[in-house]
Amino acid sequence: MGRVNVNADHTARWETVALAPGHPEAYALLREYYTELVARYYARPATASEVDQVLLEEPSDDLVAPTGHFLVARRDGAPVGCLGVRALDRDTAELTRMFVRADARGQGVAGRLIAAGERAAREVLDASALRLDTRKDLVEARALYAKHGYREIPAYNDSQYADHWFEKKLV
């Protein structure tokens, strides 16, 4: 990980780094992620207590070796997005906690994170397939995953917040 990419105009330095979910940069991104998810789910602004509750109910502490990996994308040193990868079984991992800050969207951050997550799944978790779930209201996410080669599959979990499940075989 930790590779630096430069965007087309050669002005921004991009990197993706592995951090523990409790690291201040990672935790701030996770709070923003859940703030946006809760707000979209309820179609109103999320409260701090709602976000605190979701962070307790949906812990991310397994997104460290040997059970997972947590990635933070940075632009010019500033965190702009995150993605978790967790082992589901011996051969399968799951992408989770995909988030890009609003001011960084449309700049290829999500694609960089997905590529880094796929590398981590192969190289760190030795997975041959990646799965993920998403909600019906997250239409941008569904389009993004399809664009990156993920195909819809039957449900592989019983998450109350999942409406669509995807998988990609890693080569």
Number of domains making up the chain = 1
Mean pLDDT, contiguous 10-residue spans, the chain (171 residues)? 44 92 97 96 96 96 95 97 97 97 95 96 96 94 96 96 96 81
Between the alpha carbon of residue 74 and those of residues 31, 80, 164, the distances in Å are 17, 5, 29
d(CA 35, CA 37): 6
Can the peptide bond before residue 45 be classed as cis, meaning omega within 30 degrees of 0? no
* CATH number of the domain within which 151 lies: 3.40.630.30
Question: What pLDDT does 10 receive?
Answer: 58
Backbone phi, psi, residue 44, to 5°:
-165, 165
The helix (run of H) or strand (run of E) holding residue 85 is: strand 78-87
Question: What pLDDT does 149 receive?
Answer: 97
Q: What's the CA angle centered on 126, arms 121 and 130, to 5 degrees?
A: 40
Q: Print the domain residue range for 77.
A: 4-169
Question: What pLDDT does 11 receive?
Answer: 79
Question: What pLDDT does 2 receive?
Answer: 44
Give 38-60 pLDDT, tens digit per residue: 999 999 999 999 999 999 999 99
